[in-house]
Chain A
Amino acid sequence: MQNANPDTSPAQPQPWFRTKAGRIALSILMPLFTFFLLWQGFLFLRDSEAPQIVIVLVAILWGVGGVALLFTILNLVVEQLPEVLRQNIQPFVFVGPALLLLTWFLALPAFRTLLLSFQDATGRKFTGIENYIFAFTDRVMLEAFRNNLLWMLVGTFFCVSLGLLIAVLADRSRYENIYKAIIFMPMAISFVGAGVIWKFVYTYKGEGAGISEIGLLNAVVLALGGTSQPWLQQPPWNNLFLIVIMVWLQTGFAMVIISSAIKGISSEVLEAARVDGANEFQVFFRIIIPSIQGTLLTVTTTIVIFSLKLFDIVRVMTGGNNGTNVIANEFYLQRFTYGHAGRASAIAIVLLLAVVPVMVYNLRQFRDRKAFL
């Protein structure tokens, strides 16, 4: 065999995988073998009757190992290429999989959903803006918009102001970390779990002899001389009782971010103001608030977006009944309960449009950053 590789001198015998033919064979065989291995794993996971614990372990190993293996093999193949080609292709081994997934799972779906939103329930016929007329005029949707507005205004207001209050107060206490850990704890709990916790607080048994309320809220109301209420069934107040759950979950987030911003204020400035005779309220409104303005804006935006997309709490607590429906729940109902992909898509587009201002803001911030390029 004629040796055309300039790197190899004929004097030394080469191991077979360093020869050109060996490298070509390797770069074809390795991916094939990897693919075969992964395919076998997939079949095992799909069809196996093994005990669940075995399946779970194999699944973890297959999923994590598979991705690592894919990167390694892809890179191995690329490194067999000539220098110039390699330099052009290698970056795409690194960013390619991410870009592929981003395109498939987020970028492309935005356009596909837009297309679907102009079609009928099953996506067979174009119906123009009919779904958008539904989204903006239907009684159910208007109620959902009203409720989302309530979530965004009331929920965000209480999350941010309570978070600010706790952050400022905790900053002056010796037991700061304990308080903060307690307020922060719900961040680790799922909305479904939080739903169960608060459903139990609100539970209602009704009036009658020998019935004792087992829900905390009704027991407190009874002890104060009131009558027990089915809290989650009385519109419009039930919305507020649901919002309480979000405040319980998200105040910790606001508190942590605000707290770290407060710690960033220079203590000299605060000290100087106090020496000049400013009282604590003046320090708070004239120094602390202006210094953390940017942080407050970020926190508020994040929680507003969060409450815009809110789904789990409403789904678990009331299913959207009794006047508690929200946009994201109506999206779910339209697609999965009524099977109307067109309307669901239109609702998703409405959600997307609502976050466009934030998206534009993020992009502007990014453009102003010098770090890139």
Chain B
Amino acid sequence: MNSHKRAKQFSNILVNATLIIISLIWIIPAFGILVTSFRNSEDIFTSGWWTVFPHQAYIKTGEIKIAPEVDVNGPIEINGITHTFEEWREGIVLPDGSKLTWYGNKRTRTVEVQQQQWMWFDVNLTLDNYKNVISGQEIRFKGADGNEIVRKGNDLGGAFLNSVAVAVPATIIPILIAAFAAYGFAWMNFPGRKFFFTLVVALLVVPLQIALVPILQDFTRLNLNGTFLAIWMAHTGFGLPLAIYLLFNYISELPRETLEAAFIDGASHFTIFTELILPLSVPALASFAIFQFLWVWNDYLVALVFLGDSNRVITSALAAIVGEKGQDWHLLTSGAFISMLLPLAVFFSLQRYFVRGLLAGSVKG
């Protein structure tokens, strides 16, 4: 019995160890950009983000000048040891633990003496990256070589607001329209009811690429390209099949007696819908709302096609920094983190509803 217990304990440790390793692999990449976003732009270019944690490093403690008469092209003797220039430049560790490294090119004739020391917390953390990436005005920061760079900011603050202006209506409008439709399909009789609902089911997995070319033609003709209205309508159209499907499943399962009682009392469909069905459907509405909000906030393709550079949303703005300045990690990391703030907050506070929506709607392509 004792060995059985020990085996169980062992398997428990194994299970948790595996899960901890996987969780670390999952979280470290995101953690890396979070740390980086608070570092000085200069530091980001010269050392990895993990150096903010205590580690051993070679720190300069002195300097040796090489006399002008020494030929730097041949073997060079320093403190009784001889190596070529290339080897010195890579750094030579002496028996006493110190390290000699040639500084710069051959003409500097300077060798740095470095000692290995523990670095505890010698990090400069800053909020400048956030200030710079939010700003649409002129920004200043230090590049990899320490020179100051001046350029126009990427206005992520404005892009964030635009994303709010796109995502909030593009979440609520399809819910409203879909809830009306779901009620109609569930509790009203009209010709073509089954045909139209079959259409909704068929459209669940249609790739939205199919719609982009013709819809863009329409929007160009209507002069709607780049407007909020255009992208709300697009997101509404593309989100409707799933919304109707999910809400229909929920609303059609509501107890029949409740509705019939209301009908007998003389309530109209509209009153029953707004005063009875909507409040009863809050869990289903919330599930889809989170689903749709995350989808719209994180969408890049639809925004790229219908908004372009006017009213630029946060994903487009972030992608633009990647494209123009792929190595500006201080802006990219802080920008990426700003773009995640709202969806992560929504996600973690309402995870329960989100999971329920996923379970109900995993048929969507």
B300 contacts A53, C-beta separation under 8 Å: no
Q: Is A85 an interface residue (CB 8 A)?
A: no
Q: Is A198 an interface residue (CB 8 A)?
A: yes
What per-residue 1/0 map shows which CB atoms of B88-128 lie under 8 Å from chain A? 01100000000000000000000000000000000000000
What class of interface size applies to chain A in its complex with B? Answer: 35 or more
What per-residue 1/0 map shows which CB atoms of A193-214 lie under 8 Å from chain B? 1011111110100000100111
Residues of A near B185 (CB, < 8 A) are 95
Instruction: Contacts A109-B210, A212-B46 given; indicate if A188 touches B347 (C-beta within 8 A).
Output: yes
B189 contacts A312, C-beta separation under 8 Å: no
B173 contacts A63, C-beta separation under 8 Å: yes
Q: Is B53 an interface residue (CB 8 A)?
A: no
Q: Is B26 an interface residue (CB 8 A)?
A: yes
- Closest B residue, CB atoms, query A280: B11
Instruction: Contacts A183-B23, A196-B318, A214-B45 given; indicate if A331 touches B365 (C-beta within 8 A).
Output: no
Instruction: Contacts A59-B169, A351-B209 given; indicate if A192 touches B318 (C-beta within 8 A).
Output: yes
B29 contacts A201, C-beta separation under 8 Å: yes
Considering only residues 253-309 of chain A, those with a C-beta below 8 Å from chain B are: 253, 256-257, 260, 280, 298-299, 302, 305-306, 308-309
Complex CA gap A118/B284 in Å reads 42
Q: Is A126 an interface residue (CB 8 A)?
A: no
B202 contacts A359, C-beta separation under 8 Å: yes
Instruction: Contacts A63-B173, A105-B234 given; indicate if A371 touches B252 (C-beta within 8 A).
Output: yes
B48 contacts A56, C-beta separation under 8 Å: no
Residues of A near B210 (CB, < 8 A) are 106, 109-110, 113, 348-349, 351-352
Considering only residues 26-61 of chain A, those with a C-beta below 8 Å from chain B are: 42, 45-46, 52-53, 55-56, 59-60
B319 contacts A169, C-beta separation under 8 Å: no
User: Which of B59-67, B71-79, B160-168 sits within the interface?
Assistant: B160-168
Instruction: Contacts A97-B177, A196-B335, A201-B32 given; indicate if A102 touches B203 (C-beta within 8 A).
Output: yes
Considering only residues 175-233 of chain B, those with a C-beta below 8 Å from chain A are: 176-178, 180-181, 183-185, 188-190, 193-194, 196-215, 218, 227-229, 232-233
B213 contacts A116, C-beta separation under 8 Å: yes
Q: Is B28 an interface residue (CB 8 A)?
A: yes
Q: Is A17 an interface residue (CB 8 A)?
A: no
- A353 to chain B: closest CB distance in Å? 10
A53 contacts B180, C-beta separation under 8 Å: no
Instruction: Contacts A185-B344, A197-B33 given; indicate if A191 touches B196 (C-beta within 8 A).
Output: no
Complex CA gap A291/B311 in Å reads 49
- A335 contact from B47, B169, B180, B213, Cβ within 8 A: B213
Complex CA gap A95/B165 in Å reads 26
Residues of B near A2 (CB, < 8 A) are none
Q: Is A153 an interface residue (CB 8 A)?
A: no
Q: Is B143 an interface residue (CB 8 A)?
A: no
- A29 to chain B: closest CB distance in Å? 20
Residues of A near B209 (CB, < 8 A) are 309, 328, 331, 347-348, 351
B315 contacts A192, C-beta separation under 8 Å: yes
User: Which of A64-72, A129-137, A142-150, A234-242 sits within the interface?
Assistant: A64-72
Instruction: Contacts A298-B362, A355-B207 given; indicate if A197 touches B319 (C-beta within 8 A).
Output: no
Complex CA gap A373/B322 in Å reads 52
- B347 to chain A: closest CB distance in Å? 4
Complex CA gap A311/B301 in Å reads 8
Considering only residues 74-129 of chain A, those with a C-beta below 8 Å from chain B are: 75, 79, 88, 90-95, 97-99, 101-102, 104-110, 112-113, 116
Q: Is A190 an interface residue (CB 8 A)?
A: yes
Residues of A near B33 (CB, < 8 A) are 196-197, 200
Residues of A near B208 (CB, < 8 A) are 106, 309
A190 contacts B180, C-beta separation under 8 Å: no
- A366 contact from B188, B201, B340, Cβ within 8 A: B201
Q: Is A159 an interface residue (CB 8 A)?
A: no
Instruction: Contacts A52-B158, A106-B238 given; indicate if A99 touches B270 (C-beta within 8 A).
Output: no
B241 contacts A113, C-beta separation under 8 Å: no
A199 contacts B301, C-beta separation under 8 Å: no
What per-residue 1/0 map shows which CB atoms of B344-362 lie under 8 Å from chain A? 1011100100110011001
Q: Could you name 19 residue pairs across A and B whose Cβ atoms are closer than 8 Å?
A: A56-B162, A64-B172, A68-B176, A93-B180, A101-B177, A102-B203, A105-B240, A108-B214, A173-B12, A185-B26, A187-B347, A187-B354, A195-B319, A212-B46, A219-B50, A298-B362, A302-B365, A309-B208, A372-B197
Q: A195-B319, A200-B32 are in contact. List 17 more A-B contacts (CB 8 A).
A: A68-B176, A101-B177, A110-B210, A182-B23, A193-B315, A196-B335, A197-B33, A200-B333, A215-B48, A219-B50, A256-B355, A260-B355, A332-B304, A347-B209, A352-B207, A352-B210, A363-B198
On B, residues with C-beta under 8 Å from A are 11-12, 15-16, 18-19, 22-23, 26-30, 32-33, 36, 44-50, 89-90, 158, 161-162, 164-165, 168-169, 172-173, 176-178, 180-181, 183-185, 188-190, 193-194, 196-215, 218, 227-229, 232-234, 236-238, 240-241, 244, 252, 268-270, 273, 294, 297-301, 304-305, 315, 318-319, 322, 326-327, 329, 332-333, 335-336, 339-340, 343-344, 346-348, 351, 354-355, 358-359, 362-365
* 7 pairs of A and B residues whose beta carbons are closest in the complex: A105-B237, A94-B184, A63-B169, A190-B298, A98-B181, A188-B347, A91-B190
